[in-house]
């Protein structure tokens, strides 16, 4: 059975024993293990039921020397690090001495420096990187509280470091730091594309083809079926034709939906990011037959939210 604690020293000791520990970040909770302990890394894959060719992200503390694990840190990559680290930015580099099971067999490695103070303290105490994919079964909703992690691994002996609810609520933005495609957005996330381009003062001319987390067509999915609607009138029409209870998550107020089956989304993308996975979990625990979600505007500021909702859809 899972144990929730705020004891950082216990989390460090458990990781040093080669066991996975769930840790908080500013994005979502991660299932952490020592990145250079192959048995521990493989246990993370096993717990998540994650395919071995699906690469993991190396998590580092601000004081760590990246040159130990990656090559060719270009001036543009250094600019992104200076601007966004610690924070929700993952950079993809050519790798040095990194386990194949971390990189999915690729010659690149993704690296992030998380902002959450408890996880920074864990990393500093360890003095070495961690892998830390989201602390949930593969393809399911990412957790934003310690309780979410416990719910995801009910029958597992897992230590969970409770750092409160995640402040951002969706995963990091993944950006190429590779020489021929630096600045290419490989996964939409908590940092908008435009902010990356502004930091670099140029848009990349070539896309990277490396595999990165979170790019399956169906991902971040609840147990219940999710149906998405670009226009509110389509949602209302489909909802009216149902005889079973439907949980609705929408931007528009809907008086026809009982309050117990409805959550109204904010007009601010950051607030919606904070609520999205949290509210999907509430909807998933209800007795509704399905979940209906109104999509946000097709606008760059909403790109990460659109991405997560569309991947959560059941079609």
Mean pLDDT of the chain: 95
Write out pLDDT tens, residues 254-310.
Answer: 999 999 999 999 999 999 999 999 999 999 999 999 999 999 999 999 999 999 999
Residue 116 lies in a domain: yes
Residue 214 lies in a domain: no
Question: Are 164 and 30 contained in the same domain?
Answer: yes
- pTM score, two decimals? 0.95
Q: Model confidence at 204, in pLDDT bands (50, 70, 90)?
A: low
Residue 168 lies in a domain: yes
Q: How far apart are CA 53 and CA 10, in angstroms?
A: 31
Residue 39 lies in a domain: yes
Q: How many domains does the chain have?
A: 2
Write out pLDDT tens, residues 57-78.
Answer: 999 999 999 999 999 999 999 9
To which residue do tokens 């959550």 refer? 263
Q: What percentage of the chain reaches a pLDDT higher than 90?
A: 91
CATH code for position 263:
3.40.50.11030
Residue 94 lies in a domain: yes
Q: How far apart are CA 272 and CA 289, in angstroms?
A: 23
Residue 206 lies in a domain: no
Residue 209 lies in a domain: no
Q: Which of 182, 225, 248 is nearest to 312 (CA)?
A: 225
Question: Are 188 and 250 contained in the same domain?
Answer: no
Residue 156 lies in a domain: yes
Residue 164 Cα to chain centre, angstroms = 16
CATH code for position 25:
3.90.870.10
Question: Are 130 and 261 contained in the same domain?
Answer: no
Question: Are 231 and 192 contained in the same domain?
Answer: no
Question: Are 254 and 190 contained in the same domain?
Answer: no
Q: Output phi, psi for 211, to 5 deg.
A: -75, 135
Question: Are 252 and 185 contained in the same domain?
Answer: no
Question: Are 164 and 233 contained in the same domain?
Answer: no
Residue 289 Cα to chain centre, angstroms = 26
Question: Are 178 and 242 contained in the same domain?
Answer: no
Mark 38-65 as b/e (b = at least 16 C-beta within 10 Å): eebbebbbebbebeeebbbbbbbbeebe
pLDDT(25) > 80: yes
Question: Are 195 and 236 contained in the same domain?
Answer: no
Question: Are 46 and 182 contained in the same domain?
Answer: yes
Q: Which domain holds residue 176?
A: 3-200
Question: Are 31 and 100 contained in the same domain?
Answer: yes
Q: Model confidence at 213, in pLDDT bands (50, 70, 90)?
A: confident
Residue 169: the pLDDT is: 98
Q: Model confidence at 212, in pLDDT bands (50, 70, 90)?
A: confident
Question: Are 177 and 237 contained in the same domain?
Answer: no
């Amino acid at each position: 059975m899972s144990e929730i604690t705020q004891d950082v020293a216990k989390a460090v000791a458990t990781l040093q024993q080669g066991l996975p520990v769930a840790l908080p970040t500013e994005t979502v909770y991660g299932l952490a293990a020592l990145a250079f302990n192959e048995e521990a890394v493989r246990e993370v894959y096993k717990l998540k039921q994650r395919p071995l060719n699906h690469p993991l992200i190396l998590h580092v503390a601000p004081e760590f020397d990246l040159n130990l694990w990656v090559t060719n840190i270009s001036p543009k990559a250094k600019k992104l690090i200076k601007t966004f680290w610690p924070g929700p930015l993952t950079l993809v580099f050519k790798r040095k001495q990194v386990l194949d099971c971390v990189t999915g067999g690729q010659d690149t490695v993704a690296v992030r420096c998380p902002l959450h103070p408890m996880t920074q303290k864990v990393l500093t105490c360890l003095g070495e990187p961690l892998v830390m994919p989201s602390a949930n079964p593969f393809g399911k909703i990412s957790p934003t509280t310690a309780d979410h992690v416990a719910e995801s691994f009910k029958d597992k002996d897992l230590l969970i470091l409770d750092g409160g609810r995640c402040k951002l609520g969706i995963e990091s933005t993944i950006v190429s730091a590779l020489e021929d495609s630096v600045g290419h957005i490989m996964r939409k996330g908590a940092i908008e594309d435009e902010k990356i381009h502004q930091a670099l003062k140029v848009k990349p001319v070539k896309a990277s083809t490396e595999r990165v987390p979170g790019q399956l067509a169906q991902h971040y999915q609840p147990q219940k079926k999710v149906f998405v609607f670009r226009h509110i009138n389509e949602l209302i029409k489909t909802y009216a034709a149902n005889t079973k209870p439907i949980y609705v998550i929408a931007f528009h107020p809907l008086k026809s939906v009982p309050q117990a089956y409805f959550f109204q989304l904010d007009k601010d993308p950051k607030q919606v990011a904070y609520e999205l996975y949290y509210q999907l979990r509430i909807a998933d625990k209800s007795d509704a037959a399905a979940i209906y979600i109104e999509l946000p505007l097709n606008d760059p500021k909403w790109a990460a939210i659109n991405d997560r909702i569309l991947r959560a859809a059941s079609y």
